[in-house]
Amino acid sequence: MQAKGSRGAPSLGALPFLFIVAVLLGLLPCLQPNPMLVSEAPHYPAVISGSEAGDVTAAPLDVSQAIRPLTNHTSPGHAKSRKAFPVLGIDYTHVRIPFEISLWILLACLMKLGFHVIPSVSNIVPESCLLIVVGLLVGGLIKGVGESPPILKSDIFFLFLLPPIILDAGYFLPLRQFTENLGTILIFAVVGTLWNAFFLGGLMYAVCQISGTGLDHIGLLANLLFGSIISAVDPVAVLAVFEEIHINELLHILVFGESLLNDAVTVVLYHLFEEFANFEQVTVTDIILGFLSFFVVSLGGVFVGVIYGVIAAFTSRFTSHIRVIEPLFVFLYSYMAYLSAELFHLSGIMALIASGVVMRPYVEANISHKSHTTIKYFLKMWSSVSETLIFIFLGVSTVAGRHYWNWTFIISTLIFCLIARVLGVLGLTWFINRFRIVKLTPKDQFIIAYGGLRGAIAFSLGYLLDYEHFGMRDMFLTAIITVIFFTVFVQGMTIRPLVDLLAVKKKQETKRSINEEIHTQFLDHLLTGIEDICGHYGHHHWKDKLNRFNKKYVKKCLIAGERSKEPQLIAFYHKMEMKQAIELVESGGLGKIPSAISTVSMQCVHLAVSQLPPLSSLSKDKEEEIRKILRNNLQKTRQRLRSYNRHTLVADPYEEAWNQMLLRRQKALQLEHKMNNYLTVPAHKLDSPTMSRARIGSDPQAYEPKSDSGNLPIITIDPASPQTPESVEDLKGMSRLPPSPEEDEEGLVMRVKESSSPGTDDVFTPGAGDSPSNQRMMRCLSDPGPQPEPEEGEPFIPKGQ
Amino acid sequence: MGCQSSHPSAIPELEEIMQETGFSQASVVRLYDRFQALDKEQKGSLSKYDLQGIGELAVNPLGDRIINAFFKEGEELADFRSFIRVLARFRPVEEGKSKETGRPEPMNSRLSKLRFAFQLYDQDSDGKISRDEMLQVLQLMVGIQVTDEQLVCIAERTIQEADQDGDGAISFEEFATSVEKLNIEQRMSLRLLK
């Protein structure tokens, strides 16, 4: 962690590091053994941490200086003699556990922060390596102090650190690519892992049998167990490394999918060999049972996940009134799925992934936009912190654990691991390519083989072995750690230059356009049709059947209200529009509009207009001016998102702009009223454009006028509502006034109609029902509070809530 | 599929078909069996009615268009040659085959696949997908649950996104560009049609 000069002032870069070092030193005395983190050190006096915490922010402390105060303060002790009532007291034991946990997490976050302040280092070395180094340093420091550093206990790892990462991966799994390559992924995961385990186990047994190494006492089964522990590709490590190299999606999903799905195989093999290692003989029944248990574990895990996913989706259907806790449902149900699967010794990872995958489409259709964002950020945050903690602990555990170094065993493990992986990938790819449409090139194969990183799961599994049955546990652990270090450091560091060298295709960072969406669906239908003509029940056929089943039955149950009938294309379109609108707002462009939205809305409007009877020609520039005004106003209405009622205290900046525009409009309207009184000749056509434009802009929000607003103009932007034919005719038949010069300044204005009662205009508010647009708007605005604040003095009241 | 497999010699113009489409003999035989199975009246060619008899095509939104693609302009019957020509488009692309200049574009190349898809959009064969044609496709695919206005907006948006020369319609080149990222070779290939 040298603050090497890079861009920016070196001194400025050094400061965070000094701070970090100081924090580390401040941590030393606080790292006491507690029930969570296993260690055998004597209990430390609690008094110290209070005083030490104060010293942390000063200049970097000398280690010895830190130690001396520790020993000095032990003597006074806690002799509670009769003295005055303590105004200020210290009770560290009371808060020790949460305090230490928080300190560790804080350390992890500060590390992450530190690495990004120094970009030069993190460009060469992947973050995971740096974190392990930090862990090593911290562990070394703790040991140097004389304490025994905590080891990553398996329970904590499997119950708390691993699930967030897996949930994050599963919830945001790119389903389309995953299912397209599912066969390949499964073969790599199942057959590949089996091959690795047996190959490695067998070879290690052979090595152990070589006389002179002192390893003959390790039986075949123990070796096979070791092989199964070390052969599994680790999702955490893969994610950590692959995320930084931005490799193309196919390779990413192949390696990552493999790392996720091999959990079932690992669990089965591990339990199998752990049981059998005690027996001398393995009968055929045992093998058959093992084989069976594989299916039970994997399919059972998936089943549990699916059940929880469906329940979560169903629950989310009713959460429209308490939007605040929606994200919590997602997290809790997924975690319960994981725990339930672990309860039955099923594959927790597969349960987690299955639940995330199943619940996602339905939950996303039901929850509000804000909840969606919350879920996304929470998952990213938790998984990021977890990952960091895991790597740091890996480093610390290396220092802390008991090691037994045996050159033969460890070196041969390393070599055979690599060989097994390469052979496995090559062999399987040769087999798989016969069935794939898009073959895997040798470059792809190389990356897949090279990306088979081992990580903390292997370590934790090794740690779980007990000493009774596995006396060579220490050696196993040492070997596991060596392999992990090798793969993470060597392979992790070199994969990026290799990817560049081999010119492997990188990920294309583009958003999905509506074109792609439409064409994708089009091609799906086309291919399904062709398959049917060929009489072949292929991939597309079953996918189509599943989609139809989903649409007909499942969506109705699990999605609230009108959204259940919304076709995927429309949902996609609206999501896209919403995203663009929000982006527009965020980029601060209240006045600027990306041409896409505006011209389209204009063209949208134009099209609708062209369906109406031909207009008498407006002069070109007048039309342009009207268009410009409409453009501006349509944008502003789109931006109108309701602020939180209960939980945010910050005033919504957009509300300000909105209020101002409303005031402006009101003034303009009053002016208009005066104008209207003089005009008597109805000339309907020219007004229809204005109103139809107002109506048919592409704004997803709809407003209903206040019933007692009298002659106040009503602007309703309700493009997506089901228009009744009558209302369209109504429009045509209305008598209107010619546009006046003032019209240009007024924006969206509706002339007061003689025919219908003011305030309730059925042309503009097609219904108080749950039309899709209203629903959509409700989802947008209905977050989170149950009571809307009516805005006084405004003719525009958001509907609903 | 038919219960008895045809003998290769029973298939007319087998060699030329294999040459033109690139299918292996086994595939041609298999497709010929299918052709005969569909041809209920054994007249040696397919009518639209035969193809419409396939149950799943009836629920396919693009069913009619696909069927029409097999028949040339104005004709009522399709012989085996035309049948297999259409299916040749969906043959997987062979990797590693270098482009030999002078050879005609293979029927299953990416460009041919795209052209076929384009033709399904472009019903009036004017070389462009107009707004109305896009609207029609959208109505087929999404149609009943959505209002016309929404579809109009989407169609507009689609055209606007893809249209680069500003003529308000999507030409073949623009279409090809907009599906660049879609991995057409994989999407428009059926593995069984080797």
Model confidence over A497-550: pLDDT tens digits? Answer: 888 888 877 777 666 777 888 888 888 888 888 888 887 777 778 888 888 888
Of all residues in chain A, the percent with pLDDT exceeding 70 is 63
Average pLDDT over residues A347-370: 89
Direct distance between the N- and C-terminal alpha carbons of chain B, in angstroms, rounded to an integer: 17
pLDDT value at A148 more than 80: no
pLDDT exceeds 70 at position A716: no
Report the distance separating Cα A353 and Cα A782, nearest Å. 30
DSSP class of residue B47 equals E
The pLDDT of residue A334 is above 90: yes
Mean pLDDT score, A465-482: 82
- What is the mean pLDDT of the segment spanning A341-370? 89
Q: Which residue out of B47, B147, B167 would a mutagenesis test of the A interface target, given it has the greatest number of A Cβ atoms within 10 Å?
A: B147
What spatial distance separates the first Cα and last Cα of chain A, rounded to whole Å?
55
3-state secondary structure of B170: strand
Residue A798: φ, ψ to 5° = -60, 140
pLDDT tens-digit map of A754-779: 444 443 433 333 344 444 455 555 55
**Helical packing angle, A193-209 and A220-230, nearest 10°:** 140
> In this structure, are residues A41 and A64 in contact, taking their beta carbons and an 8 Å threshold?
no
Say yes or no: B161 contacts chain A, CB-CB below 8 A: yes
**Does residue A610 belong to the interface with chain B, where contact is any CB pair within 8 Å?**
no
In this prediction, residue B163 has a pLDDT band, given cuts at 50, 70 and 90, of confident
Tell whether B154 is within 8 A of chain A (Cβ).
yes
- What average pLDDT does this structure show over A661-681? 68
Place of tokens 């049972």: A289
Q: Provide the pLDDT for residue A741.
A: 43
- Closest Cβ opposite residue B54 in set A510, A518, A532: A532
Q: Above 60 in pLDDT, residue B78?
A: yes
CB-CB under 8 Å, B186 with A180: yes
* B53 chain-A contacts, CB cut-off 8 A: none
Q: DSSP character for A776?
A: H
Split at pLDDT 50, 70, 90, the class of A720 is: very low
**Cβ contact A533–B57 (<8 Å):** yes
Contact yes or no for A429/A421 (Cβ under 8 A): no
Check if the beta carbon of residue A691 is closer than 8 Å to that of residue A749.
no
pLDDT of residue A464: 84
Rounded alpha-carbon distances, angstroms, from residue B72 to A206, A523, A645, A672: 69, 21, 64, 62
Q: Are A369 and A322 spatial neighbours (Cβ–Cβ below 8 Å)?
A: no
Segment 553-572 of chain A within 8 Å of chain B by CB: 565-567, 569-570
Most confidently predicted of A152-156, A364-368, A411-415: A411-415
What pLDDT sits at residue A575?
74
Give the up-direction half-sphere exposure of residue B41: CA atoms within 13 A in the CB hemisphere: 10
* pLDDT surpassing 80 at residue B93: no
User: CA dihedral defined by A112, A118, A121, A125, rounded to 10 degrees?
Assistant: 20
**Percent share of chain A, pLDDT over 90:** 12
Query: What pLDDT sits at residue A376?
Result: 92
- A721 chain-B contacts, CB cut-off 8 A: 147
Residue A182 contacts B, CB cutoff 8 Å: no
pLDDT at A303: 94
Q: What is the pLDDT of residues A32-85, one digit of tens each?
A: 444 444 443 333 333 333 333 333 333 433 444 444 444 444 444 455 567 788
Q: Is the distance from CB of A751 to CB of A736 less than 8 angstroms?
A: yes
Q: How many residues does chain B have?
A: 194
**A691: distance to nearest CA of chain B, Å?**
15
pLDDT at B97: 52
Among candidate residues A150, A120, A142, the one with its CA nearest the CA of residue A1: A120
Instruction: Give the nearest partner residue to B150 out of A521, A534, A720, using CB atoms.
Output: A720
Residues on chain A touching B157 (C-beta within 8 angstroms): 514, 573, 596, 600, 604
pLDDT at position A428 is: 93
What value of ipTM does the predicted structure carry? 0.92
Answer whether B180 touches A (CB < 8 Å): no
Does the pTM of the predicted model rise above 0.90? Answer: no
- In A273-312, the residues whose Cβ lies within 8 Å of chain B are none
What length does chain A have?
Answer: 801
Q: What is the mean pLDDT of chain A?
A: 71
B115 vs A700 pLDDT, higher one: B115
A385 against A751, higher pLDDT: A385
The whole-number pLDDT of residue B176 equals: 84
Q: Is B156 on the interface with A (CB under 8 A)?
A: yes
CB hemisphere CA count around B131 (13 angstroms): 17
**Cβ distance A580 to A512 under 8 Å?**
no
Please say if the pLDDT value at position A323 is more than 70. Answer: yes
Residues of chain B in contact with residue A508, where contact means CB-CB under 8 angstroms, are 181
Q: What is the mean pLDDT of residues A168-183?
A: 87
Q: What is the mean pLDDT of chain B?
A: 79
- Binding-face residues of B in 69-88 toward A, CB within 8 A: 87
- What pLDDT is stored for residue A100 in this prediction? 86
The partner residue sitting opposite A600, judged by closest CB among B120, B157, B179, is B157
Cα separation, A262 vs A447, whole angstroms: 18
Tokens of A234: 């680790």
Q: Is the peptide bond before B104 cis (omega within 30 degrees of 0)?
A: no
What per-residue confidence (pLDDT) applies to B180? 81
Rounded to a whole number, what is the distance in Å from the CA of B102 to chain A's nearest CA?
A: 26
How far apart are the C-alpha atoms of A299 and A292, rounded to whole Å? 11
At residue A579, does pLDDT exceed 60?
Answer: yes
pLDDT category at A172 given cuts 50, 70, 90 is confident
Q: Sorting pLDDT into bands at 50, 70 and 90, what band is A740?
A: very low
